[in-house]
């Protein structure tokens, strides 16, 4: 039995801001049944109720700080919590609406040091799997400390945009020798870069789709770290995330009424969800026009700008739009203006609402995901299970998981529509093609839906690929 520690700042259902939480909350429980003994190590946020099982001292710069260790069980997986209320009893995980916490360098360097120390004190050795910049120092400690030489590490990049870059002064908090503050180490143009620490430190690096793993080695998507990533390309692998089919399944979806549940053989429930959504949001009167859905963080990354630049086309094309999201105030305001330009046709809901997210995915005919870049993306995977046809920008995980109608000769493979150039016109043309297909080729549309249902986006499949990586270094 191999021991594997997941060092992470999020895991569903304990704490979540993005896909990172899904990976760290789901993958360990699957590994449990595949010959591994997984354990999660994460911060003890104030929302997590747990029992204290130990304590230790952890250094941060010149100080020694006291840490409480908590323990809970998550679907058969042990979770160890690093208790430091001054750092982790906060309103948000990384910041508030007004920005990131000013002491995020201290918070996550401390967490990385504490997690490493905790692991080092255990009797057995094994693998350490760290996630995103918050824990980037962990693989670096494993690589550089002789007392950790029996361990191997994997580092996963969930989103390269956020790198944990801090002034050089923060380096002294790490306890590392100054020789590591170099271009071969954790320094990046005179600053401390914690994402880079993970990339240069880990034995293997993964990211959340094969296409994104190639894109991040280019200047366009590499966020400045492309040459570091290129230097590690032999050890870099892309693995698409799975989805939680216990909640994202139209036959048992807890957010659909009994009459609304559906499956590939009987899609009646899907029509009911659509009708109920159109009524609830005063979008009725659409006849047989498609309902286009969108659920997203409202950030530049998500391609909201392409919608705003196509206001006229969107108002003129057939279809009703239901958009749910929160995020950057400027994009929220832009979408609200779009809504005003076509009342009764476009509804924008500024909220974070799990139930409505499920219902939009379930009731929509088309789903819009024009992300500028997308490491993996989850909603296009959900859509496949719900007979909802995605329109996406062909990038990252979207390129790997949506097969464009025009890209394949084989009608049995196509699952959606995608555009290559990130330009308003390309997006508009693809949207028009999807709308015409919906209207003019109902039989082919059914085929697209059926092809989606056939796809296997389960965690079991992704877990197999992670196991291959773990086996290669242990
Ligand atoms: P990212 O992690 O970049 O935000 P993903 O597509 O990987 O993008 O995951 C986003 C997840 O968050 C999806 O499950 C999506 O449905 C959900 N989500 C995003 N915005 C909202 C919202 N406003 N309300 C409910 N769920 C949302």
Instruction: Give the tens place of pLDDT for each residue, 135-194.
Output: 999 999 999 999 999 999 999 999 999 999 999 999 999 999 999 999 999 999 999 999
Q: Is the model's pLDDT at 472 over the cut of 80?
A: yes
pLDDT at 277: 97
**Ligand 1, atom 2: nearest CA belongs to which residue?**
18
Q: Which of these ranges, 18-22, 51-55, 455-459, has the smallest mean pLDDT?
A: 18-22
Span from the CA of 239 to the centroid of ligand 1 (angstroms): 19
In this structure, the dihedral spanned by the alpha carbons of residues 124, 129, 131 and 134, taken in order and rounded to 10 degrees, is 30
pLDDT of residue 185: 98
Residue 452, both tokens: 């989606």
Calculate ∠ Cα 90-93-96, nearest 5°. Answer: 75
Give the per-residue pLDDT at 396: 98
Q: How far is the CA of 328 from the centre of ligand 1 (A)?
A: 14
Amino acid 263: pLDDT: 97
pLDDT tens figures, 394-414 = 999 999 999 999 887 777 899
CB-ligand 1 contact for 355 (6 Å cutoff): no
* Best residue for ligand 1 mutational test, from 21, 158, 209, 296 (most atoms within 8 Å of Cβ): 296
259: confidence class by pLDDT, cuts 50, 70, 90: very high
Residues 44, 120: contact at Cβ < 8 Å? no
| Rounded Cα distance, 230 and 217, in Å | 5
Q: What percentage of the chain reaches a pLDDT higher than 70?
A: 100
- Taking only the tens place, the pLDDT of each residue in 232-253 is 999 999 999 999 888 899 999 9
* Ligand 1 center to 172 CA (angstroms): 36
Averaged over 324-348, what is the pLDDT? 96
What is the position in ligand 1's atom list of the atom closest to the CA of 380? 6
Q: Please, which pLDDT band fits residue 116 given cuts at 50, 70 and 90?
A: very high
Quote the ligand 1 centre to 326 CA distance (angstroms). Answer: 10
Counting from 1 in the atom list of ligand 1, the atom nearest the Cα of 159 is 3
Taking the CA of residue 325 as reference, the ligand 1 atom at the shortest distance is 23
pLDDT band at 288 (very low <50, low <70, confident <90, very high): confident
Query: Stretch 85-89: mean pLDDT, rounded?
Result: 97
Asked whether the beta carbons of 322 and 351 are under 8 A apart, the reply is no
Q: Give the pLDDT of residue 315.
A: 93
Nearest to 130 by CA among 3, 2, 4, 6: 6
Average pLDDT on 106-118 reads 98
C-alpha dihedral, 188 to 194 to 200 to 206, nearest 10°: -130
Of the CA atoms within 13 Å of residue 239, those in its CB half-sphere come to 28
pLDDT tens for each residue of 54-73: 999 999 999 999 999 999 99
CA of 360 to the centre of ligand 1 (A): 12
Q: What's the rounded mean pLDDT across residues 268-279? A: 97
pLDDT tens profile 198-224: 999 999 999 999 999 999 999 999 999
Name the residue with tokens 């944990």: 164
Does the pLDDT of residue 363 top 80, yes or no? Answer: yes
Q: Is the CB of 378 under 6 A from ligand 1?
A: yes
Query: What is 165-214 written as a DSSP string?
Result: EE-GGGGGGG---GGGSSTTTTEETTEEEHHHHHHHH-SEEEES-HHHHH
Give the CA dihedral 347, 350, 354, 355, nearest 10 degrees. -40
Question: Mean pLDDT for the chain?
Answer: 96
Give 61's contacts (C-beta < 8 A, 6+ positions apart): 172, 173, 175
126 lines ligand 1 (CB under 6 A): no
Vertex 101 angle, CA 84 and 324, to 5°: 110
Ligand 1 center to 203 CA (angstroms): 30
**How far is the centre of ligand 1, averaged over its atoms, from the C-alpha of 389 (Å)?**
18
């Amino acid at each position: 039995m191999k021991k594997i520690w997941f060092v992470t700042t999020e895991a569903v259902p304990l704490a979540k801001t993005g896909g990172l939480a899904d990976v760290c909350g789901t993958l360990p429980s699957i590994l449990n049944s595949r010959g591994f003994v997984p354990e999660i190590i994460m911060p003890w946020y104030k929302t997590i109720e747990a029992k204290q099982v130990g304590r230790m001292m952890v250094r941060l710069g010149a100080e020694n700080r006291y840490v409480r260790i908590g323990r809970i069980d998550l679907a058969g997986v042990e979770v160890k919590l690093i208790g430091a209320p001054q750092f982790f009893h906060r309103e948000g995980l990384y910041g508030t609406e007004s920005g990131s916490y000013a002491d995020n360098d201290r918070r996550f360097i401390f967490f990385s040091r504490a997690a490493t120390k905790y692991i080092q004190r255990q009797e057995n050795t094994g693998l350490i799997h760290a996630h995103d910049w918050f824990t980037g120092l962990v693989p670096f400690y494993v690589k550089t400390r002789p007392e950790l030489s029996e361990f191997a590490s994997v580092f996963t990049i969930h989103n390269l945009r956020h790198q944990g870059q801090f002034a050089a002064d923060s380096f002294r908090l790490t306890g590392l020798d100054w020789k590591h503050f170099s271009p071969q180490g954790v320094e990046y143009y005179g600053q401390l870069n914690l994402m880079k620490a993970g990339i240069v430190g880990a034995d293997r690096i993964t990211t959340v789709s094969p296409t994104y793993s190639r894109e991040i080695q280019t200047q366009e998507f590499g966020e400045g770290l492309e040459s570091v990533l290129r230097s590690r390309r032999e050890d870099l692998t892309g693995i698409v995330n799975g989805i939680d089919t216990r909640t994202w399944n139209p036959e048992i979806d807890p957010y659909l009424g009994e009459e609304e549940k559906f499956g590939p053989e009987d899609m009646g429930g899907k029509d009911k969800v659509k009708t109920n959504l159109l009524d609830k949001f005063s979008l009725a009167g659409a006849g047989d026009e498609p309902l286009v859905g969108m659920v997203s963080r409202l950030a530049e990354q998500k391609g909201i700008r392409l919608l705003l630049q196509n206001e006229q086309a969107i108002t003129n094309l057939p279809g009703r739009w239901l958009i749910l999201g929160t995020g950057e105030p400027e994009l929220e305001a832009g979408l609200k203006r779009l809504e005003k330009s076509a009342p009764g046709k476009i509804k924008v809901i500024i909220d974070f609402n799990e139930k409505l997210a499920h219902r939009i995915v379930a009731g929509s005919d088309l789903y819009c995901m024009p992300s500028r870049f997308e490491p993996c993306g989850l909603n296009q995977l959900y859509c496949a299970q719900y007979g909802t046809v995605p329109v996406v920008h062909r990038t990252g995980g979207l390129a790997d998981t949506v097969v464009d109608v025009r890209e394949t000769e084989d009608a049995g493979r196509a699952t959606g529509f995608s555009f290559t150039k990130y330009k308003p016109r390309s997006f508009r043309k693809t949207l028009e093609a999807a709308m015409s297909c919906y209207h003019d080729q109902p039989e082919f549309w059914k085929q697209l839906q059926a092809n989606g249902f056939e796809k296997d986006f389960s965690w079991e499949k992704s877990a197999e690929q992670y196991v291959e990586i773990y086996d290669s270094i242990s």
